[in-house]
Amino acid sequence: MPGKIILRMLVLAMSIFAGMGVLLPADSPSSQKEVFGVRVVARESARRVDVFIGAQLFTAYLFPDTIKKPVLFPLLTAGGAVITRGYPLEPRPGERVDHPHQVGLWFNFGDVNGLDFWNNSDAIPAAQRNKMGTIVHRQVKRAEGGEGRGELEVVMEWHTPNGTPLLQEDTTFVFRAAQGVRSIDRITRLTALSEPVHFNDNKEGVLGMRMARELEQPATKPEVFTDASGKATPVPILDNKGVTGLYHSSEGKTGDDVWGTRGRWTALSGKIGSEDVTVAILDHSGNPGFPTYWHARGYGLFAANPLGQKALSNGKEELNLKLEPRQSAVFRYRVLILSEAFSPQSVEKQYQRFQSEVK
């Protein structure tokens, strides 16, 4: 009996303390949900918008004159690991130096009215530049932070070599942060301007990332990479120490078998230092060409391309998207960065959340 009396007294005391606002063990600060403040800081004179999670840089929207489209660069995990290749903006020792147009996270395409927006860079010979398109930043419409979430709205234009705008691009980036999780939604509306715009089936597109060396798949032989303009870049065997990447698709494909297949999502897993990392690109069911084909290469190119069906299906399918003047197409993607080993169940859960959150 005395024990029961003491227990009742303890329960009563706990309820009184709780009513007074006294922190009990279950309510202590260490057990509260962690707050992740997202700051989106526009610095247009420096041609960038920085995105911070707390005091740590998460990514930046960059639009310098030295690259031919705006990009997000770099991208970091919750643990502070950089998942994007540094070259050509911030080269790091041991990286490949092929494909200088593959910078950070970008969105473009290899054949728009016969112009190549994908391969354009300062490395293109002067004689080839009349075949290249450029995406030009026009405006930061909105930059807002908040608890666990920040947003950036920008306007761009897709230009011909003589500066004529073919398309207006209105893109909203949504940056989210939680414990061990970072994500970026890229919701892009492309609107044809004064003339019809044809996206002719091409393997170079559309949402692409170039990954850090640690997230490449180990390479065992020298390679030569050839871009759409025919420029070949030989790449020798690199030191595979610390190279741990492996692709996984929603359809159960792994490694090099992911390339040229369809899927709702594809993830790239590996380890950077002591941190387990899973990076996934999630396709949306409302996108043109859903489910997308994957242009995912072991050397670190990770891209979702719904508009390269003929090239990626070996001629079995084809999709040529056409926009009449003032007609639009919308593309919705989520880039998910998890500080954990790959789990198909975990990525699928995040995929279903993406589908419910973005319409």
Predicted pLDDT at 42:
98
Contact predicate 78/84, CB 8 Å: no
Any idea which of 30-39, 72-81, 127-136, 173-182 has the lowest mean pLDDT?
30-39
Phi then psi dihedrals of residue 11, to 5 deg:
-60, -45
pLDDT digits (tens, 9 = 90+) for 124-162: 999 999 999 999 999 999 999 999 999 999 999 999 999
Query: How far is Cα of residue 111 from the mean position of the Cα atoms in its chain?
Result: 21
Q: Compute the distance between CA of residue 281 and CA of residue 133 in angstroms, rounded to an integer.
A: 25
Predicted pLDDT at 94:
85
Q: Which CATH class is domain 39-357?
A: mainly beta
Percent helix, strand, coil in the chain (nearest 5)? 15, 40, 40
Mean residue pLDDT of the chain comes to 90
Residue with tokens 């660069």: 73
| Tokens matching residue 193 | 């301007």
Burial of residue 12 (CB within 10 Å: 0-12, 13-18, 19+) is exposed
Side by side, the strands of the sheet bearing 146-147 are: 146-147, 37-43, 48-53, 56-62, 71-75, 105-109, 205-210, 301-305, 293-296
Using DSSP's 3-state secondary structure scheme, residue 217 falls into: coil
Split at pLDDT 50, 70, 90, the class of 308 is very high
Contact predicate 332/173, CB 8 Å: no
Q: Compute the distance between CA of residue 297 and CA of residue 295 in angstroms, rounded to an integer.
A: 6
- Nearest 5°: the CA angle 59, 65, 69 is 60
If you average pLDDT over residues 265-288, what whole number do you get?
98
Which of 233, 208, 211, 203 minimizes the C-alpha distance to 298? 211
At CB < 8 A and 24+ separation, what contacts does 123-128 make?
123/231, 124/229, 128/229
pLDDT digits (tens, 9 = 90+) for 56-106: 999 999 999 999 999 999 999 999 999 999 999 999 988 888 999 999 999
- Nearest 5°: the CA angle 69, 74, 79 is 155
| Tokens matching residue 319 | 């999709």
Amino acid 256 reads: D
Q: Please state, in angstroms and as integers, the Cα–Cα distance from residue 357 to each residue in 33, 174, 280, 307, 353, following that order.
A: 21, 11, 17, 24, 6
| Tokens matching residue 77 | 């995990």
Using DSSP's 3-state secondary structure scheme, residue 292 falls into: coil
Q: For the chain, which residues make up each domain, given as ranges?
A: 39-357
Split at pLDDT 50, 70, 90, the class of 238 is confident
Q: Return the sign of the alpha-carbon dihedral for residues 262, 263, 265, 269.
A: negative
Which of 48, 116, 281, 115 minimizes the C-alpha distance to 183? 281
Using DSSP's 3-state secondary structure scheme, residue 355 falls into: helix
Q: Compute the distance between CA of residue 75 and CA of residue 96 in angstroms, rounded to an integer.
A: 18
Q: Compute the distance between CA of residue 54 and CA of residue 70 in angstroms, rounded to an integer.
A: 24
